[in-house]
Amino acid sequence: MHIPDGFLNAGASIGGAVVAVGGLSVSIRRTTQILEEKQAPLAGLVAAFIFAVQMLNFPVAAGTSGHLLGGVLAAVLVGPWAGAVCVAVVLIVQSLLFADGGLTALGVNIVNMALIAVFCGYGIFLLLRRVVPRTHTGVTISAGVAAMLSVVLAAVGFTIEYAIGGTGGAPVGTVAAAMAGVHLLIGIGEGVITAMTVGAVLAARPDLVYGTRDLIAPVELRESTVTPTRSAP
């Protein structure tokens, strides 16, 4: 899903860079306001883990592979704001250190994988959580399904950018169908990896998971054991 240099024209690339800088600035500011102390090291781990798993391309169809994007995984674990920053860090390291994902395309790649996949995916996660049981299993399934759809949405993001400033000659409709189809398959892998990872963290340290803060039992409010004395009428 990493767009190389030259797939998009200068206009689309610059537009993407502007949106990426704006989105990341807001994300960093919001992270500054809400990141809990114990979540700061977790966010570093999430970025490192996503880097590692992005290297693990799995076969999806004849001559095609896919790999984790990690947007929903990051959003569920550390929240969408810090999650977007995590994925952006991964994309920057990949482009600047491993020449993966074009330099001029860094902005659009951040838009697709660090903004669209993270925020749209997290929105779907929140919607799904309203209809599934309020349990760890419900959270795990919601994360998996949202992750799957987030990959398709990132592919739609690329298709829109291609429609705006693609240098290739193929019709937008053909590209849209091909992108959606293959990324639905890749999304299945994304969903499985995301669900497994969220499930593992929920089993070990449920208190660290941002997406389930509402499940942590609040300070118990007990009925007073002392019955208030009422004056007889």
Partner 1 sequence: MRRARLGTFIALGVVVALALAFFVSPYASSQPDGLNKVAIDQGLDQQEQPHALEDLPTAGYGVRGIRNERLSTGLAGLIGVGVTFALGLGLFALVRGARRTGHDPAP
In the region spanning residues 124 to 183, those forming contacts with partner 1, defined by CB under 8 A, are 155, 158, 162, 166-170, 174-175, 178-179, 182-183
The verdict on 118 binding partner 1 (CB under 8 A) reads no
Render 23-72 in DSSP notation, one character per residue.
HHHHHHHHHHHH--TTHHHHHHHHHHHHHHHHT--EEEETTEEE----HH
Residue 50, both tokens? 């996503």
Cα distance between residue 131 and residue 157, in whole Å: 27
The verdict on 17 binding partner 1 (CB under 8 A) reads no
The verdict on 24 binding partner 1 (CB under 8 A) reads no
The verdict on 3 binding partner 1 (CB under 8 A) reads yes
The verdict on 31 binding partner 1 (CB under 8 A) reads yes
The verdict on 89 binding partner 1 (CB under 8 A) reads yes
Note whether 154 and 124 are within 8 A (CB): no
The verdict on 5 binding partner 1 (CB under 8 A) reads yes
The verdict on 11 binding partner 1 (CB under 8 A) reads no
Helix or strand or coil: residue 20? helix
Nearest distance in Å: CB 112, partner 1: 9
Q: What's the Cα-to-Cα distance from 144 to each of 49, 193, 195, rounded to whole Å?
A: 17, 8, 5
Of residues 191-220, those binding partner 1 (CB under 8 A): 204-205, 207-208
